[in-house]
Amino acid sequence: MRLIDTHVHINFDAFQPDLDDVARRWRDAGVVRLVHSCVEPAEFAGIQAIADRFPELFFAVGLHPLDVADRWQEGTPAEILRLAKSDVRVVAIGETGLDFYKAVNQEQQKVAFESQLALARQLGLPVIIHCRDAAAPMADLLRRFWQQQGTVQGVMHCWSGTPEETEWFLELGFYISFSGIVTFKNATQVQESAKIVPGDRLLIETDCPFLAPVPKRGEKRNEPSYVQYVAQHVARLRNVSPEELAEQTTQNACRLFKLPIPLVTTLSPISASWSHC
Ligand code: NI
Q: How far is the CA of 69 from the centre of ligand 1 (A)?
A: 17
Q: How far is the CA of 223 from the centre of ligand 1 (A)?
A: 13
| Cα 108 from Cα 271, distance rounded (Å) | 51
The per-residue pLDDT for 114 is: 98
Q: How far is the CA of 275 from the centre of ligand 1 (A)?
A: 28
Q: Phi/psi of residue 118, each to 5°?
A: -65, -40
Q: How far is the CA of 271 from the centre of ligand 1 (A)?
A: 35
| Cα 130 from Cα 161, distance rounded (Å) | 12
Q: How far is the CA of 272 from the centre of ligand 1 (A)?
A: 32
Q: How far is the CA of 5 from the centre of ligand 1 (A)?
A: 12
The per-residue pLDDT for 263 is: 57
β-pairing, 90-99 vs 57-61, is: parallel
Q: What does the mean pLDDT of the chain come to?
A: 94
The per-residue pLDDT for 262 is: 63
Helix 242-257 and helix 227-238, axial crossing angle in degrees, nearest 10: 110
Share of the chain residues as helix, strand and coil, in percent rounded to the nearest 5:
50, 20, 30
| Cα 35 from Cα 56, distance rounded (Å) | 9
Nearest in space to 242 (alpha carbons), one of 228, 261, 252, 253: 228
Q: How far is the CA of 264 from the centre of ligand 1 (A)?
A: 31
For the range 256-263, what are the long-range contacts, defined as Cβ-Cβ under 8 Å and sequence gap of 24 or more? 256/126, 256/153, 256/154, 256/155, 256/175, 256/203, 257/6, 257/35, 257/58, 257/91, 257/92, 257/126, 258/91, 259/4, 259/33, 259/35, 259/58, 259/91, 261/2, 261/32, 261/33, 262/32
Q: Which residues of the chain are under the pLDDT cut of 50?
A: 265-274, 277
The per-residue pLDDT for 134 is: 98
Q: How far is the CA of 273 from the centre of ligand 1 (A)?
A: 31
Q: How far is the CA of 9 from the centre of ligand 1 (A)?
A: 7
| Cα 256 from Cα 134, distance rounded (Å) | 24
| Cα 210 from Cα 229, distance rounded (Å) | 14
